[in-house]
Amino acid sequence: MPPKPAELTSLSMAPLLVPVRYPVTDGFDIAVPAAASSVRQARRVARAWCRYCRLPADLIDSVLLIVSEMCANAILHGGSDSIGVRAWLPSFGVLRIEVADYTPSQPPTVQPPSADSENGRGLFLVDAVAAEAGGSWGFTADGTRAWCTLPLPTKASDQQPAAPEPDHRSPARAPQASAPVPASFYAHP
């Protein structure tokens, strides 16, 4: 029997028989310079990963706010030249975010900001967003790493997938739509 062409046997190209809402991924783990411009870079990576995981738009917004505030806090209060940012799905139904500044310190406590202060709201926002989503957050005992866990929506009514990113490529380079999989493909012999 002659071998089948690779495109017919590749598991990565096989259609899913059961739709998967949150595919298993390794997450992301990046190190960025401890500079204000790195917050934007961390947000872009987090957004791309969240979209790859097909997370709902409102959860993506929460993740991006948490990443921004934790990164800003690590840059402002950490003493390292770089910070680490990572996120992954450690167990079914949970998303975890961590930001490390690698500087041991006493973990901060959330203080409600005064009405006229121009800063100091970052951890207050993280606390509010995590609580609203039913998640939790905190710091490691040595203060080097801030973390946040958020539950993933489980009901179909809770899920609103993020809108696709606009395709800025020229029409000649834009991806072509694939042909639908025939129903006979799913038929059992």
The tens-digit pLDDT sequence of the chain (189 residues) is 444 444 444 334 444 434 445 555 679 999 999 999 999 999 999 999 999 989 999 999 999 999 999 999 999 999 899 999 999 998 888 999 999 999 998 888 777 777 777 777 888 899 999 999 999 999 999 999 999 999 998 855 444 555 555 555 444 444 444 444 444 444 444
List strand residue ranges (DSSP E) for 41-105, in order: 82-91, 94-100
Asked whether 107 and 95 are in contact (CB, 8 A), the reply is no
Residue-level pLDDT at 186: 41
For residues 57 and 163, give the distance between their C-alpha atoms in angstroms, rounded to a whole number.
7
| pTM to 2 decimal places | 0.69
Separation of alpha carbons 42 and 110, rounded Å: 23
For residue 56, give the DSSP letter: B
**Integer-rounded Cα radius of gyration of the chain:** 21
